[in-house]
Amino acid sequence: MLTPKSSDPARPTPQRLLDAAETLMRTTGLANATTKAIAREAGCSEAALYKHFANKEELFVRVLLERTPNAAALMTALTADPGELPVEDRLAAIAGHAARFYADTMPIAGSLFAEPALLSRHRAGLKEIGKGPHVVLDALVASLSQDREQGRIRADADPVAAAALLLGACFQRAFFLHFSGPDAVQPVAEFAPAVARTVWAAIR
């Protein structure tokens, strides 16, 4: 089945706007995906856009969370009750989803860093809606803090440092993947358990 075009008037306006935002962010980059351009692509007015979304940053976050493979799986892995799942196995699952998520999203967000003024506006827009890249880190820190409280990791383990090590490795892999190509990185199936095993060795 074909995905409805963003300009299809039968498609609800918020969904048309998300379609348009995704199309432009993936083809022209976030820097060029202005609210005016998104509205035009969606076949509606810029005023209509602001009836449904606070700013372009909200559209950006919605595209990442709803239209990017692995976003939902990552957030589920970060926030779900671990039950009896061993900590190392949970960290491996999180690392796998995070590595794929960062690889998916880096090309969309990369253009921000070419324009300091745009990056500043984007940062302010995310702050306005209470979103940003820290959300993933905060969720993993909260999960590891709970592990520490329940005795699943060492009492002197640092959840903030452990989360930064794991997610930082995933982000670096995405950077190398896009900068140097697939041959420069381990396949996710090898990378994720190796990173998890290393972090687990430091906090178990």
Q: What total of structural domains would you count in the chain?
A: 2
DSSP 21: H
**Statement to judge: residues 101 and 78 lie in one domain:** yes
Res 9: pLDDT: 64
Res 69: pLDDT: 80
**65-74: long-range contacts at Cβ-Cβ below 8 A with a sequence spacing of 24 or more?**
66/18, 67/18, 67/22, 68/101, 68/104, 68/105, 69/100, 69/104, 70/97, 70/100, 70/101, 70/104, 71/101, 71/104, 73/97, 74/98, 74/101, 74/136
Rounded CA separation 117/189 (Å): 38
Rounded CA separation 61/140 (Å): 19
**Statement to judge: residues 56 and 131 lie in one domain:** no
CATH number, domain with residue 28:
1.10.357.10
Res 8: pLDDT: 67
pLDDT digits (tens, 9 = 90+) for 137-183: 999 999 999 999 999 999 999 999 999 999 999 999 999 999 999 99
pLDDT digits (tens, 9 = 90+) for 76-93: 999 988 888 999 999 999
Domain that holds residue 46: 1-67
**Statement to judge: residues 62 and 139 lie in one domain:** no
Cβ proximity of 157 and 144 under 8 Å: yes
Residue 119, token pair as written in the block: 């990056």
**Statement to judge: residues 147 and 179 lie in one domain:** yes
**Statement to judge: residues 165 and 151 lie in one domain:** yes
- Helix (H) / strand (E) element for 137: namely helix 134-149
**Statement to judge: residues 25 and 81 lie in one domain:** no
**Statement to judge: residues 43 and 77 lie in one domain:** no
Closest CA to 136 of 68, 83, 185: 68
Task: Map tokens 């509606």 to a residue.
Answer: 44
Res 10: pLDDT: 65
Res 3: pLDDT: 47
Would you say residue 2 has pLDDT above 50? Answer: no
Max Cα–Cα distance, the chain, nearest Å: 57
Give the global pTM: 0.83
Average pLDDT along the chain:
90
Residue 108 class from Cβ within 10 Å (0-12 exposed, 13-18 middle, 19+ buried)?
buried
What's the pLDDT band for 61 if we cut at 50, 70, 90? confident
